[in-house]
Every structure is written in C-alpha cells, then in structure tokens.
Structure 1
Amino acid sequence: MFANPVTWSWVLLSLAGLLEIAWPIALKYSEGFTRPVPIAISLALGLASFALLGVATKHLPIGTAYVAWMGFGAAGAAILGMVVFGESASPIRLACVGLVILGIVGLNLTGNH
C-alpha cells in the first residue's frame, strides 16, 4: 500500500497513538482495577500500542516517534477526559494540551525523519 517505509511507519505510529488514547479510557472504566473486562481491554490496547510503536521505530528516530506517541496519547486522553468524563476544560488546561500538540508538530518539522 505504501511503498515508502517511512510513510508506513507514520501510519503505524498514528494507529499506535490512537490506541495510546484508548487504553487509558478503558482503564478509567475499570474503576480502579475492579472490573475485569475493562482491565483486559486496557491491557490489550496498551500492548498493541506499544507493539506498533516498536515496529514504527524501525524507520523513525526513537525520540521523534516516542514523543509523538506519548504526546498524541496524552493530548487525546486529556481531551476525551474533558468531553467524556466532564473533566475541567479550563483555558490553562486547553493551552497546555495545545503546547503538547505544538511540541509534536515542532519535532516533526525538524526534518529528522
């Protein structure tokens, strides 16, 4: 599908980032590790995310890949926390999420990939 291995790695890293958002949401539904199904889902999603990150780093710099993966997950989980769980969406929280996203974009614009 993608002839360029770097492009394919970014696709895999994007999927890993989506899973990096999903597993903490499932963890929230585990209610403090008291519900087995959300625990199992969280663990499976986390492992899949980690595995995709590992594959993506074959053709991407580890620093760029790791920051993108973690930042995407952190920003996405924070936003979903605000939307789904009614967590604070104060201007300072939104600005901090924006800074995380700007950091990811900045690393990608360095051309070190």
Structure 2
Amino acid sequence: MSWVYLLLAGLSEMGWAVWLKYTEGFSRLLPSIITITLMAASFALLSLALKELPISTAYAIWTGIGTIGTFVFGYMILH
C-alpha cells in the first residue's frame, strides 16, 4: 500500500504545482484552496508512504513524479 500512497503523493505534488499557476499569487480564492489542499494531501500521503519505504527512495520518486508530471503537463497542455 505504501507504493500506492507514494504514487498518489506524487500526483498530488504535480497537481499543486500546476494549480499554483492559477492562484495568481494566492489572490484567487478557489485555485488557492485547491493548491493548499493538494499540498497538504501530498505531504500527508508521503508521510504514510514513509512508514514502510526508506526516505531516500520515497523522496526521489515523489519529487520525480512531481517534476516530470508538471513538465509534461506544461509542455503538452500549456505549450
């Protein structure tokens, strides 16, 4: 189950990075709430994954999913 938590944490990481663009400096309420919620979910899911996985592996995968996912989304959707 830890790998599932880690995957979801990485997707949440990607999600908040994408939504951060739409907050316009946290001046828009709904995108700001979504961004903060995804940030909290990302950290919470990572902490659940760390109960069984070593931090070096989990952190590398978590940031990798977030970085690569955000890049691919930005390249394909935002051009």
Bin of the TM-score, shorter chain as denominator length: over 0.9
Please state whether the residue corresponding to 1:31 is helix, strand or coil. coil
Which of structures 1 and 2 has the bigger CA Rg? Answer: 1
Q: Deviations over 1:54-106 (max 9, x none)?
A: 010010000000010011101100110111211xxxxxxxxxxxxxxxxxxxx
Residue number in structure 1 paired with 2:55: 62
Mapped partners of 2:38, 2:63: distance in 1: 14
| Counterpart mapping for 1:16-31 below 5 A | 16-31=9-24
Gaps of 5+ in 2: none
> Which structure has the higher relative contact order (CA within 8 Å, separation 6+)?
2
**In the alignment, which residue of structure 2 is the partner of 1:53?**
46
Q: Percent identity?
A: 49
Match in the other structure for 2:67: 74
Residue 42 (structure 1) aligned with residue 45 (structure 2): no
* Larger helix fraction of residues: 2
> CA offsets, 1:13-57, max 9 Å, x none?
001111111011111111222211101100000100100000100
